[in-house]
Chain A
Amino acid sequence: MDVILFLVFAIIAVVCAINVVVQTHPISSAISLVGVMGSLAVLYLLLGAEFIAAAQVIVYAGAIMVLFVFVIMLLNAGAEVQKGRSPMARFLGLPALVMLLGLLAYFVQRLFPRSDMVHFGGFTGGSPKDIGMALFTTYLLPFEATSILILIAIVGAIVLARKELD
Chain B
Amino acid sequence: MDSFIVISLIKVAVVFAALLTTLAYLQWVERKVLAHIQVRPGPYRVGPHGLLQPVADIVKLITKEDLAPPFANKALYLAAPFLAMTLALLSICVIPFGPIIQVGGVRTAMQLTDLNIGVLFVLAVSSMGVYGVALAGWSSNNKYALLGGLRSAAQMISYELPMSLAIASPLLVSNTLSLRELVEKQAGGVWNWNVFHGPFPQVFAFVIFLIAAFAETNRVPFDLPEAENELVAGFHVEYSSMKFASFFMSEYANMITVSCMATLLFLGGWIAPWPAEYGSRFAPSVIFGAAGLAALYNGLNPRRRRDRYSFPVVAAAAFLIAAVFLIPMTQEWLLPLFWFGAKTGSILFLFMWVRGTLPRFRYDQLMGFTWKWLFPAAMLNLLATGFLIAWLS
Contact = CB atoms under 8 A, between A and B. Distances in A.
A58 interface: yes
Interface in A19-38: 25, 27-28, 31, 34
B157 interface: yes
Contacts of B123: 54, 58
Interface in A129-161: none
A73 B146 contact: yes
Interface string B131-172: 100110110000000100110011011001000000000000
Given A57-B124, A66-B134, A74-B150, A50 B116 contact: yes
A2 to B, nearest CB: 16
B76 A67 contact: no
Contact of A54 (B76, B121, B138): B121
A62 interface: yes
Contact of B127 (A25, A50, A63): A63
24 contacts: A31-B135, A34-B131, A50-B117, A51-B117, A51-B120, A57-B127, A57-B128, A61-B124, A61-B127, A62-B127, A63-B127, A63-B157, A63-B160, A66-B130, A66-B131, A66-B153, A66-B157, A69-B138, A70-B154, A73-B134, A73-B137, A73-B150, A128-B120, A128-B177
A109 interface: no
B120 A73 contact: no
Nearest to A128: B177
Contact of B128 (A50, A62, A74): A62
Given A27-B138, A54-B121, A70 B153 contact: yes
A73 B225 CA distance: 15
B153 A62 contact: no
Given A63-B157, A127-B116, A69 B131 contact: yes
Nearest to B134: A69
Interface size class of B (residues with CB under 8 A): 20 to 34
Contacts of B73: 25, 27
Interface of B: 73, 76, 115-117, 120-121, 123-124, 127-128, 130-131, 134-135, 137-138, 146, 149-150, 153-154, 156-157, 160, 177
B323 to A, nearest CB: 45
Interface residues of A, number: 23
B149 A58 contact: no
Given A31-B131, A69-B134, 17 more contacts: A25-B73, A27-B73, A31-B135, A50-B115, A50-B117, A55-B120, A58-B124, A63-B127, A66-B134, A66-B156, A73-B134, A73-B137, A73-B149, A73-B150, A74-B150, A76-B146, A128-B117
B128 A61 contact: yes
B134 A54 contact: no
Nearest to B128: A62
Contacts of A63: 127, 157, 160
Contacts of A70: 134, 150, 153-154, 157
| Residue in A34, A55, A63, A73 whose Cβ sees the most chain B Cβ within 10 Å | A73
Contacts of A55: 120
A21 to B, nearest CB: 18
A62 B123 CA distance: 9
A57 B131 CA distance: 13
A31 B75 CA distance: 12
A123 B138 CA distance: 41
B352 to A, nearest CB: 28
A69 B146 CA distance: 12
Contacts of A57: 124, 127-128
A112 B127 CA distance: 37
A69 B149 CA distance: 10
Contacts of B135: 27, 31, 69
A54 B127 contact: no
Contacts of A50: 115-117
Contact of A67 (B121, B138, B157, B177): B157
Interface in A116-132: 127-128
A62 B134 contact: no
A120 to B, nearest CB: 18
A62 B122 CA distance: 12
A52 to B, nearest CB: 10
A127 B116 CA distance: 9
Most central of A34, A74, A127, A128 by chain B CB within 10 Å:
A128
Given A73-B134, A73-B153, A31 B120 contact: no
B32 to A, nearest CB: 35
A62 B149 contact: no
Contacts of A62: 124, 127-128, 130, 160
Contacts of A74: 150
A73 B147 CA distance: 9
